[in-house]
Structure 1
Amino acid sequence: MRSMIFLLAVLASSGAAAAVAEGEAPITGQGLDRLAAAAGIEVVGRTADLRVETPFGPITARPSGDATARFAALFAEEFAVYPPALVRRSRLKRVVLGSGLAFDGQLRGAIPDFWHDALYLDVARGDYSPTYQRTAIHHEFFHLVDYRDDGEVYRDDAWAALNPPGFRYGPGGKDVQGDALGSLFTDKHPGFLTTYATAGVEEDKAEVFARLLVAPREVARRAGLDPILARKVARMKARLKEFEPAVDDAFWSRVEARPTRPDGPPARPPGRDASR
């Protein structure tokens, strides 16, 4: 993620972004038509291989294939939770589904595109755990919201000040992609929901947001035992309401009332990497 803003700035200035519109087809059904119209977005699937050359390495993907319909239904269910005003304020315009999504050969579950107002999602990565995929959707969407909030992604001094004294974030999400357990809930790190959250302030915030959407009762339980995490949850909700007033107490009540998912925790089989 740390090089992604610079990467996409190059694409915007070079005109290479036009290539990403080739070999795509609109995805409809599953309630996506209504969702897309309300939020002002389009959802497309790759029908041909994608390769975008950049000075930092290529963004690549394969066609979304047979998994498209299943993932589109999951995506529609998760995105329908958001107030349309939040999606519009994020400036997201396009969601692109593919498989084998990678940046410079490194597999990614998603790539948020701040400069072209797009979000790339891999329909197959982590498909053994729908909860993992749900979490990844919200995690990556938050990066777009985070950027639109104040133009910053990798620095947030006020958030970092909530951490335990002496804590320092790691090298960023890009450099911990190989941690097969990093996205699992853990109580090893006071103030953090997952090990992945300790990689960078941007990942910490995105993990809090995503888990509030997918596992609100578990986050509430953890926050009740961890005052640092409780302050992070409170700050997340306050900042989101400032960014978009529709993300209010009534919104969070609706999230908390969602039925518990039967697909289990966002776990990964040993040795199988599904990091974002």
Structure 2
Amino acid sequence: MKYLKLIRYQNLLMIALMQLLFRYGFLNYQNIPLALNDWQYFILVFATVMIAAGGYIINNIFDQATDNINKPYQVVVGKNISETNAYNWYFACTVLGVGAGFYLSNVIERPGFAAIFIIISATLYLYATSLKQMLLIGNFVVASLLAFSVLIIGVFDLLPAINPGNKVVMAELFSILLDYALFAFVINFIREIVKDLEDVNGDYNQGMNTLPILFGIKRTSKLIFILSLIPLVMVIFYIKKYFFEFDLYIATLYALISIVAPLIYFAVKMAEAKNSKDFKHLSTVLKLVILFGLFSITVVTYNILHHA
């Protein structure tokens, strides 16, 4: 169990589930050629998960002092697992992830794409060692990497299969992936700031430069309240423009209940939040919004197929 905590397996499961949903709950129903077969797609999921695991491990290694203040009962490195052992796991996960990415890049005859996995791994290392200490830069990096775990599906599974005959369809599908990636980015960016509110004491003692430390808890909470209206407006606009237009009532109902309602709940509770317990609860709410948002792609696909 200690090694599962080290790699934050719940987050890894969500990343894997997300990529599997997009392939088997959406792309497989689009009647288009895909660049990867099932086995190769599983390798893509494996590569993404391994690199993310490496990122979580290196972050846990460099977060020991902060976590001992913020989450003393959840600290793994230095207590249940030695730092040396944690580094070994970091190198193993990163090498496996980059190696799998290198293999896939050659499979689709785009060897240069292997650089994507190297850059992501390097960015995760820089995040753990320095970027997270910079105002909003760390939040932006984490949110971007989650968004890219959606876009990488298009890069490896759609892009190599584009031909003159399906260019328009592929562009539309890539646009949908981009919409979901943007949604994941916005929600996770807000969530990272909420987590900064939750961890403000430990971050302050370690000399971190986060928004709550700079502006204070009250002002940052107000800012998050305003920011939370952005994804809410985005989702409502998307429902009105696409779901209503094509009479996707099941998808509309799902989005209203599982995405819009929790976002409204988050905004209301954010205005009242005061302590670490409140912020931890709100962080969990946003995590569920991301999860329900990912599931919506299968709901939309089901609604389209049965509506037709």
The bucket for the TM-score relative to the shorter chain is 0.3 to 0.5
Going by fraction, where is helix more abundant, 1 or 2? Answer: 2
TM-score, reference length from structure 1? 0.32
* Bigger Rg, which one: 2
TM-score, reference length from structure 2? 0.30
Going by fraction, where is strand more abundant, 1 or 2? Answer: 1
Q: Which has the higher contact order (CA 8 A, sep 6+)?
A: 2
